[in-house]
Structure 1
């Protein structure tokens, strides 16, 4: 009986591996910290970054949830806006917060941002808070992707 060799031909995975490493360094320069955050061993991550293992869909989904641009890793083309390390850290923390905490951060950010830099109103954030308190839904992890008719759609866009 022939054992399946799970190692890949590194010539096929090399372009992906180098872009994976580039993306991981952009999000978290320390490989050990990155591995602890996503819950895999450092050896496994090294195998991926060295092209010794093929990345499967489960792994790609995992790293996408932690801010890596999977589109770029697979195609070499950037998908959408690229977040720098601080933006990625802020987004990860924001997503981990409950609805009311997220709304508090939005209100605080509105007060600190230069005039015209955000494109939603305090009233829209307050409506999100009311919806969260009433259990209608909101902007937090539990309601990700959920939009209710009673909730205004809003998103902050940075002026470039």
Structure 2
């Protein structure tokens, strides 16, 4: 499997179209398609941009997934979903997360 193949698989994992990934990476649509087709090699700036969008650059370059940093599958899914959101959705989820983190459930004691 070549870099272009892994670039396509990672784009699909993130749920983006080629048009969206071209925009995210700051390249022309045709240029991005050429990367996936293996006609040309992406520049470093593409990898920086798609990493910010949630792509696993280590996987694209080497075929090996980045090591999770001791997080559960549920936590990994939350991260993946968060990275796939637009800015407005991220702000909403941050507010909800802050609200839940600050609330402390009242536990019933044996004397209640």
TM-score normalised by L of structure 1? 0.48
Matched residue count: 95
Give CA-to-partner distance per residue, 1:100-156, whole Å, 9 cap, x none: 866413135x3xxxxxxxxxx427xxxxxxxxxxxxxxxxxxxxxxxxxxxxxxxxx
TM-score normalised by L of structure 2? 0.65
Matched, 1:91 2:71: no
Show the counterpart of 1:66.
53
Matched, 1:54 2:54: no
Cα distance, 1:88 vs structure 2: 3.3
Gaps of 5+ in 1: 1-13, 111-120, 124-160
Q: Partners in 2 of 1:46 and 1:93 — Cα distance?
A: 23
Larger RCO (alpha carbons 8 Å, 6+ apart): 2
Q: Partners in 1 of 2:32 and 2:82 — Cα distance?
A: 23
Q: Partners in 1 of 2:5 and 2:96 — Cα distance?
A: 35
Show the counterpart of 1:19.
6
Gaps of 5+ in 2: 104-112
- Describe the shift of the 1:92–1:29 C-alpha distance in structure 2 as closer, same or farther (beyond 3 A): closer
Cα distance, 1:87 vs structure 2: 4.9
Q: Partners in 2 of 1:45 and 1:91 — Cα distance?
A: 20
